[in-house]
Structure 1
Amino acid sequence: IVNYETLSMNSGLKYHEVREVLPLLEDSFVVFIVKPFYKNLMNEIRKNPKIYFVDYGIRNYLSESFDNPEFNELYENFVHNQLKRFYEVRYWRTTAKTEVDFILKTENEIIPIEVKTKPKITRSFRSFIQHYKPKKGLIANLNDVSKTRVNGCEVFGVLFVCL
């Protein structure tokens, strides 16, 4: 999630300059800006977006890191970029820091998606299902294809290559 103050301090830009530059970076296809999904304005964070890089090499260069500990962030970035090709992508986070990586909104439904190395259904994912009652959800993972039900929602474990 974007912290404009931290970006300002790290980049040497003023706060308002950072807020002006990010849309320019999106228009230049350097980053994608993902806005939060919300219906309950009291409990859900709705201000700051998340940012995903179009080119991972630029991201790695700017962070001065090409190490494996960054794998989960790169994996989430990859999944985002695949979804972005076909859907409007949002994320969900509450003031209690409950978070689902991606929310897809179609005409008829809302689909929560978690990105994990293993197909584990998290408390955050269960919380989203309980609040919004989607018909289906996805766990993009590296290990397993599966299908289960959680509170009436069909949850599919899908391999990331299937996205």
Structure 2
Amino acid sequence: FNINNIYFWRTIAKQEVDFIINNENIVPAEVKITYQDKLMKNLTFFSKQYQTKNSYCITINKKESKHGNIQQIYPWEIEKIGVTDKHTNNANLIYGNNN
């Protein structure tokens, strides 16, 4: 994992995804207090546009979802999407791309 491989995505039409992790695969992730299907439109659009295998909503309040390809995870489960520090094996919540 390299912190320089974390980005955000925004279009001219103001569609955005909080985090795009570019490791071996492109992995989009949104951060929401509570999961709501209606808040996943941009994540779903990105996943279809770029044909991502997995997409994630990092939340503290999981809900039933109509979007089968969006996996809901708690912040303390972030290692499931490959955002870990390989040197310490500790999961790190990354707040931006610090160059």
- Give your verdict on TM over 0.5: yes
Give, in angstroms, the shift of residue 106 of structure 1.
1.2
Which residue is 2:44 aligned to?
A: 126
Q: Which runs of 4+ in 1 moved over 6 A?
A: none
Highest RCO, 1 vs 2 (Cα 8 Å, sep ≥ 6): 2
Which residue is 2:7 aligned to?
A: 90
> Which one has the bigger helix percentage?
1
Contact in 2 for aligned 1:101/1:115 (Cα 8 Å): yes
Q: Using structure 2 for the length normalisation, give the TM-score.
A: 0.64
In the alignment, which of 77, 84, 95 is matched to residue 162 of structure 1? 77
- 1:48-87 matched pairs, under 5 angstroms: 87=3
Length, aligned pairs only: 74
Which residue is 2:21 aligned to?
A: 104
Task: Give unmatched runs, 5+ long, in structure 2.
Answer: 79-99
- Three-state SS of the structure 1 residue aligned to 2:43 is helix
Instruction: Return the index of the structure with the highest Cα Rg.
Output: 1
Task: Give unmatched runs, 5+ long, in structure 1.
Answer: 1-84
Which residue identity lines up with residue 117 of structure 1 in the other structure?
I
| % identical equivalent positions | 27
Structure 2 distance, partners of 1:92, 1:134, is 14
Structure 1 distance, partners of 2:62, 2:76, is 11
- Three-state SS of the structure 2 residue aligned to 1:128 is helix
Contact in 2 for aligned 1:120/1:139 (Cα 8 Å): no
